Amino acid sequence: MSIGQTLAAARREAGLSVDDVSAKTRLRATVIRAIENDDFSLCGGDFYARAHLRTLANVVGADAAALVAEYDATHADPDETPVASQVFETEVAGRTLARRTERRAPNWGAAAAAMLLVIVIVVAAVQLIGNGGGGNGNTPVAQGSISQTTPPVSPTPIESTVEPSQSAPTQVESPPASAVAEAGVHVVLDVTTAKCWVLASASNGSVIFQGVLNPGDTKTFDDPHKVSLRLGNAPATHLVVNNVDMGTPSSKTNVVDLSFGPGDPTQAQG
């Protein structure tokens, strides 16, 4: 059987309609029907045709590697095949690396909470020392009334009791930069000059988006911990990550893998 016939038969055996497959893959139903008729003109080139074949095969339970190999032998442009196939040869390794990177990523939320706790303890200790000193004429605080006389972290009582050389803790009134991790990850992808195949994954490995975007298209991806991107035509894209303009991703080839965590993307990028 041909590529299209194999996919159509597998889809029917899986009990799926074309619309069901379209909903699962986010590919247009017209593109799926064309592929099942061995018409790859709507795919936008060999690179995207291979991506669509792998996506469809995974959904309907067909052999993706065999379908891509048959496509390369019967339909692909020989000059394009070596470059495009490099994307799929590194797919498994890329996902494994992403998982390892995620496991090694520091817990910025816990670090921020720990830092704030240390600051509260230091300020409270300075407050107690200042109130209990005999040289400034203040009445010593009784041990049983500490909970009533020691206020929460506040700049006003600290400034009235701490010597100038000890006033540094009052400068840490705003949350440290690492506390930005609680805001999660926000990625805005703009496609500028040419079509681009995009695969966006969440921190738990689930696919947020997969498909081909046209020039002028914009996609937004959000996750509490990490957003991973695979761009098939990186020079045709523009990224804004956590409100920081990252510009066009730099790469030696058109294909690039990127991962972003919370906070400053120039420091947190994996």
Q: Which helix (H) or strand (E) holds 197?
A: strand 196-201
Q: Do 83 and 19 fall within a single domain?
A: yes
CATH number of the domain encompassing residue 23: 1.10.260.40
Q: What is the pLDDT of residues 147-186, one digit of tens each?
A: 444 555 555 444 444 444 444 444 444 444 444 445 799 9
Prediction pTM value: 0.36
Q: Do 7 and 85 fall within a single domain?
A: yes
In a domain, 95, yes or no: no
**End residue of a domain, out of 178, 209, 232:** 178
In a domain, 51, yes or no: yes
Q: Do 122 and 75 fall within a single domain?
A: no
**End residue of a domain, out of 178, 194, 209:** 178
On whether the CB atoms of residues 180 and 156 are closer than 8 A, the answer is: no
Q: Which of 225, 215, 218, 214 is nearest to 186 (CA)?
A: 225
Note the pLDDT of residue 180.
40
Note the pLDDT of residue 267.
75
In a domain, 37, yes or no: yes
Radius of gyration of the CA atoms of the chain, in A = 28
What are residue 141's phi and psi, to 5 degrees? -85, 130
Q: Which residues pair with 199 in a beta bridge?
A: 210, 230
Q: Do 260 and 226 fall within a single domain?
A: yes
Note the pLDDT of residue 124.
86
Q: Do 116 and 85 fall within a single domain?
A: no
CA dihedral angle for residue 8, residue 12, residue 16, residue 17, rounded to 10 degrees = 60
Q: Do 52 and 84 fall within a single domain?
A: yes
Range of the domain at 112: 108-178
Q: What is the pLDDT of residues 24-73, one digit of tens each?
A: 999 999 999 999 999 999 999 999 999 999 999 999 999 999 999 999 99
The structural domain count of the chain equals: 3
Q: Which helix (H) or strand (E) holds 203?
A: none
Q: Do 194 and 167 fall within a single domain?
A: no
Q: Which helix (H) or strand (E) holds 92?
A: helix 91-104
In a domain, 102, yes or no: no
In a domain, 121, yes or no: yes
Tell me the residue type at 169. Answer: P
**End residue of a domain, out of 132, 158, 178:** 178
Q: Do 131 and 192 fall within a single domain?
A: no
**Residue 95's Cα: distance from chain center in Å?**
13
Q: What is the mean pLDDT of residues 221-232?
A: 92
Which SS3 state, helix, strand or coil, does residue 188 take? strand
Q: What is the pLDDT of residues 88-138, one digit of tens each?
A: 444 544 555 545 545 555 567 788 888 899 999 988 888 887 765 544 444
In a domain, 75, yes or no: yes
Q: Do 227 and 212 fall within a single domain?
A: yes
Note the pLDDT of residue 80.
59
> Which CA distances in Å does 67 have to 71, 91, 232?
6, 17, 20
In a domain, 196, yes or no: yes
What are residue 186's phi and psi, to 5 degrees? -130, 115
Residue 191 confidence (pLDDT) above 90: yes
Residue percentage of the chain with pLDDT more than 70: 69
Q: Which of 252, 248, 250, 253 is nearest to 237 (CA)?
A: 248
Note the pLDDT of residue 164.
44
Distance of alpha carbon 28 from alpha carbon 11, whole angstroms: 16
In a domain, 16, yes or no: yes
